[in-house]
């Protein structure tokens, strides 16, 4: 039964429908399938429900740079939608499931919009089972490489053995302010690049603060892995284009809003400032006034501390004295 299923998908995955362009057939679908196989192998996909997130979009860019030697433009949203048109034994093996109240009837070109309307993507059950098996997964991967990427498969294999740092890992190093070589020029579309950086910023800032609100010390997580503290930019990304953790704070949602609106800030000694223009109920157990003068909780490693220069910008440009 497994052999029959594997044979079916080896044929389907090596007979993908691909758009014709002046520089050859589009490589987007096989690149995405290679990403799916790798993410299953690394434990990044652990159930048959694939959400759009920074790791997925960034992994697509990383795989693209490894495998695609032509001048085609990397576009994650294209194969994510159109892979639904491919079939095995006349049945689709990839499906997008929208959130309640939404529909996905055409290609959504914006990755942000796609994330808003998509609940998850899923594979046919028998394909997902094959992807869990190491031997079957490797056969599917090699078939994709032999069929679509004969010129670059050796490079892919070499980098895989060496454990090369990919796009996502390099970007994480950048966000964490690690001493690395300047980030190489990437070919990903501007919106997708910002999407990946912002997604990693939201994940890594709470992490360096141990998932704790830096103002209140409140730690909020769940058994489902959800994090309830926000990653807050000190200088807005639209102004600074800075997604490093030194331009971030870990804050509860209410304090995130208060910080963005200038009701609170931080002085040069990392102590909390509260605006005199704030109107609130005196003596309330959750009042912001009781935070005045308290030192914020800082990351364990000094290199992750919020930038004093950026905090100075916030006091001068945003804080309501």
**Across all residues in the chain, what is the average pLDDT?**
90
Give strand pairing partners of 19. none
**What tokens were used for 290?**
């009781």
**C-alpha to C-alpha distances, 119 to 90, 93, 104, nearest whole angstrom:** 25, 17, 11
Predicted confidence at residue 293, as pLDDT, reads 95
**What tokens were used for 96?**
């997008």
pLDDT tens readout for residues 101-125: 999 999 999 999 999 999 999 999 9
Statement: residue 1 has pLDDT above 80 = no
- Cα 19 to the center of its chain, rounded Å: 27
Q: Which of 266, 243, 250, 244 is nearest to 319 (CA)?
A: 266
Statement: residue 303 has pLDDT above 80 = yes
Q: Count the neighbouring beta carbons within 10 Å of the beta carbon of residue 113.
A: 12
Higher-confidence residue of 178 and 66: namely: 66
Among the ranges given (47-61, 253-267, 274-288), the one the predictor scored with the smallest mean pLDDT: 274-288
pLDDT tens readout for residues 218-272: 887 665 556 689 999 999 998 988 999 999 999 999 999 999 999 999 999 999 9
The arithmetic mean of pLDDT across residues 71-79, rounded, is 93
Q: Tell me the whole-structure pTM to 2 decimals.
A: 0.81
Predicted confidence at residue 175, as pLDDT, reads 87
- CA angle, residues 113, 117, 121, in degrees to nearest 5: 110
Q: Are 211 and 227 in contact (CB under 8 A)?
A: yes
Statement: residue 217 has pLDDT above 80 = yes
- For 296, residues 6+ apart whose C-beta sits below 8 A from its C-beta are 214, 215, 249, 266, 270, 271, 272
Predicted confidence at residue 169, as pLDDT, reads 81
């Amino acid at each position: 039964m497994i052999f029959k299923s594997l044979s079916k998908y080896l044929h389907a995955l090596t007979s993908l429908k691909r758009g014709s362009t002046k520089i050859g057939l589009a490589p987007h679908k096989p690149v995405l399938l290679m990403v799916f196989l790798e993410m299953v192998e690394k434990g990044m996909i652990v159930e048959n429900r694939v959400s759009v997130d920074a790791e997925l979009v960034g992994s697509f860019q990383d795989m693209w740079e490894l495998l695609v030697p032509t001048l085609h433009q990397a576009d994650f949203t294209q194969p994510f939608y159109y892979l639904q048109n491919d079939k095995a034994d006349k049945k689709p093996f990839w499906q997008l499931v929208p959130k309640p109240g939404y529909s996905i009837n055409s290609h959504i070109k914006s990755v942000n919009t796609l994330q808003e309307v998509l609940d998850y993507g899923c594979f046919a059950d028998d394909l997902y089972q094959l992807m869990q098996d190491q031997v079957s997964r490797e056969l599917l991967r090699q078939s994709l490489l032999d069929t679509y990427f004969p010129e670059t498969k050796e490079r892919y294999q070499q980098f895989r053995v060496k454990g090369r740092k990919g796009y996502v890992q390099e970007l994480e190093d950048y966000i964490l302010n690690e001493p690395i070589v300047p980030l190489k020029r990437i070919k990903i579309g501007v919106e997708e690049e910002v999407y990946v950086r912002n997604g990693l910023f939201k994940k890594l800032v709470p992490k360096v603060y141990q998932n704790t609100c830096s103002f209140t010390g409140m730690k909020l997580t769940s058994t489902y892995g959800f994090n309830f503290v926000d990653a807050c930019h000190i200088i807005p990304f639209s102004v600074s284009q800075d997604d490093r953790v030194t331009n971030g704070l870990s804050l509860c949602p209410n304090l995130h809003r208060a910080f963005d609106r200038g009701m609170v800030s931080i002085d040069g000694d990392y102590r909390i400032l509260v605006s005199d223009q704030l109107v609130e109920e005196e003596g309330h157990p959750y009042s912001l006034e009781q935070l005045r003068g308290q030192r914020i909780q800082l990351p364990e490693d000094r290199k992750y501390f919020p930038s004093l220069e950026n905090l100075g910008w916030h006091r001068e440009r945003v804080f309501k004295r």
